[in-house]
Chain A
Amino acid sequence: MYETIDALNETQHRALETLMTTMADDEFVIAERYIEWQVHAPSLESDLALANIAQDELGHARLWYDVLDDLGHTESALLYERDPADFRHSTLCELSFETGDWADAIVRSYLYDAAETIRLDALAESSYRPIASRVPKIAAEEAFHLDHAVAWLERLLEADDGRQRVQAAFDRLYPHALTLFEPAVPPRLGVHDDDLAAAAVEATIVDAGLRSASLDEMADEWRTTVHDTAEDLGLEVPTGATVPTMTGRNGEHVDDWFELYDDFTHTYRELGRTHTERIMPTPDDG
């Protein structure tokens, strides 16, 4: 078990940075998208559920950003001063369908939370203590997210119109969900779309045991879970779905992301902030 950042070598630092950036960015960006749906969800209860899920995901993003603090990155700088192309979240998280279909919001939540469960299992066995020690808290809070998504899927599938909408959302979003299991190009090096660099980092993540399962293994598990659920629900899994060229993980994002980035950094820029300040002792400083 690696107890602290000093126990890791430089290559492992890069791998840790990449892994935590993908986790934190996924959680942060999907939270922002959940929040958009708070005013469009079909009932007050679902407004509340989405608000609550978003709050959970923002909390989890913070926990993962905190791990990056040991590499010298503050949460605030990571969010408000980072090049948007350096974010490494999956494209599934960034897609905007604010004025789209409720089925999109539910299907995205289902596909994401199914993956989240599998990822957290693999991170629970991480060789790096600051990762492993965070997982039980996060996992306990995640438990109801998947239940919420599945309950809504079942509800939507009761009527033909709902079934068509869910199937269409499933077909649209499934390829983007595959990007969750794509290797990430290490951030902050000004390199995008570099398959070799991404593969090398993924190999280090697995070899060092930062995550106990490889992306390929997790993808297989996810496919099995999603396909079984789809079969139970009478949904058709898109055949021959391929991973989009833009995976988010490779630093290539759809336009929706850059608009969202401009939105959430707007006030920060408007206030003329050019640097972030520490207003409190840093969590996890040892």
Chain B
Amino acid sequence: MAEPTPDTEGPTLCPHTEYAPGEPHPELPLTGASAIGLEAEVWEALRAVEDPEMPVSIVDLGLIYGVDVGGGTARIDLTLTYSGCPARDFILQEVAWRIEQVDGIDEVDVNLVWYPPWTVTNVTDAGREALERFGLSVST
């Protein structure tokens, strides 16, 4: 199967999927820039989680596909850059642990998703800068 063609305007879309109205993540990356209150605190906690191999936040890598906070529960949809990621459990556990520390959150539901597939187009400008400082140049 051919590799999906990167689309500089946004995530690569699946040619086999019908996009019904209300598709959960039309715009990636999500950074929580407009979040307020408890949700903003959850985003702050997420921002503190770094990729174990690179000093860059998982938010700036564009791994977060959804944050839903309500009734003391935070539900996080996130993806990984690679299906065979050896740090999967580390990242998922750290996400859960950091969000549990947020006052007002009693329950965390970390939901691993794979669609749309992550590509470097997901990385934020801040993420690019962090990666460049680390010695990795990201071009798309």
Contact = CB atoms under 8 A, between A and B. Distances in A.
Contact of B83 (A56, A280, A285): A56
A259 interface: no
Interface string A13-41: 00000000000000000000000000000
Contacts of A117: 1
Contacts of A63: 83, 114
A60 B82 CA distance: 10
A137 B117 contact: yes
B96 A281 contact: yes
Interface of B: 1-4, 12, 14, 16-18, 82-86, 88-89, 92-93, 96, 108-118
A13 B102 CA distance: 38
A143 B1 contact: yes
A277 interface: no
24 contacts: A55-B86, A58-B84, A59-B82, A59-B84, A60-B83, A120-B1, A132-B14, A133-B17, A133-B114, A133-B115, A135-B16, A136-B12, A136-B115, A137-B83, A137-B117, A138-B83, A139-B3, A140-B117, A142-B1, A143-B1, A143-B3, A280-B110, A281-B110, A284-B111
Contacts of B12: 136
Interface in A119-133: 120-121, 124-125, 132-133
B128 to A, nearest CB: 21
Interface of A: 1, 55-60, 62-63, 66, 117, 120-121, 124-125, 132-143, 279-281, 283-286
A101 to B, nearest CB: 27
Counting chain A CB atoms within 10 Å of each CB, which of B16, B86, B108 scores highest? B16
Contacts of A121: 1
Contacts of B86: 55
A137 B115 contact: yes
A283 B112 contact: yes
B89 A280 contact: yes
A58 to B, nearest CB: 6
A125 B16 contact: yes
B14 to A, nearest CB: 5
B111 A59 contact: no
Nearest to B11: A136
A125 to B, nearest CB: 5
Contact of B92 (A137, A138, A280): A280
B57 to A, nearest CB: 20
Contacts of A58: 84
A285 B111 contact: yes
B97 to A, nearest CB: 10
A281 B109 contact: yes
Given A139-B1, A143-B1, A66 B112 contact: yes
Residue of A57, A58, A136 with highest tally of chain B CB at under 10 A: A136
